[in-house]
Amino acid sequence: MKLLRYGERAVLVELADSAAVLALRAAVSGVDGVVELVPAARTLLVEFDPAQTSRERISAQLTGAVATPAPPAAGPTVRITVRYDGPDLAAVADEVGLSVAEVVRRHTTPTYTVAFIGFSPGFAYLTGLDPVLEVRRLAEPRTSVPAGAVGVAGEFTGVYPRSSPGGWRLLGGTDAPLWDTARTPPALLAPGTRVRFVPA
């Protein structure tokens, strides 16, 4: 763990992996003076109110929390129905040495956890992917990936909330609205949310 100064009102914590980020986020979510927690793949940005606490006190609490990390609290579970007909499904199956049916089975077996939101509004990075399905991004990203595309890249899986460029390997698609400005909150998924993929 490494603590870095991030302006006058925040500390950036560098951690080993996304599991450590989720554990630390859960451990310090109720600390006095903490205004906002922003998780990423291997960092947690901790914004604090200098009128309520100090950088030194926050840093000490972060260090203590990491020494005995608590598991993240289970969030709600969201089920997302997926059509496994993505353009990269067969290629991923060939690359990892499995049948298409086995790739689908392994992708739908875990209960995933939203580690953080990034890339675009509502894009949730989900942890819990079967290590066999950890494949690299495309060498050349697509200029347009449709909304609802379900992909894998490295240790993560996720769903594109809207049409955008992207380099994840696409296994299928869903009609679930991941981002809807008419909804409160607009994002279907938030850090800590559990996700199950269900084949259509």
Span 127-176, pLDDT tens digits: 999 999 999 999 999 999 999 999 999 999 999 999 999 999 999 999 99
Contact predicate 127/115, CB 8 Å: yes
pTM of the model: 0.76
Sign of CA dihedral 151, 192, 113, 177: negative
Cα separation, 140 vs 99, whole angstroms: 25
State yes or no: pLDDT of 71 exceeds 90: no
Domain co-membership, 139 together with 103: yes
Provide DSSP, 62-112.
HHHHHHSPPPPPP--EEEEEEB---TTHHHHHHHHT--HHHHHHHHHSSPE
CATH number at residue 42: 3.30.1360.40
pLDDT at position 39, please? Answer: 87
Three-state DSSP class for residue 41: coil
For residue 102, the model assigns a pLDDT of 98
Q: How many domains would you assign to the chain?
A: 2
SS3 132: helix
Question: Is residue 72 included in any domain, yes or no?
Answer: no
The residue among 42, 67, 92 that closes a domain is 67
pLDDT range class, residue 67, cuts 50, 70, 90: low
What pLDDT is attached to residue 192?
85
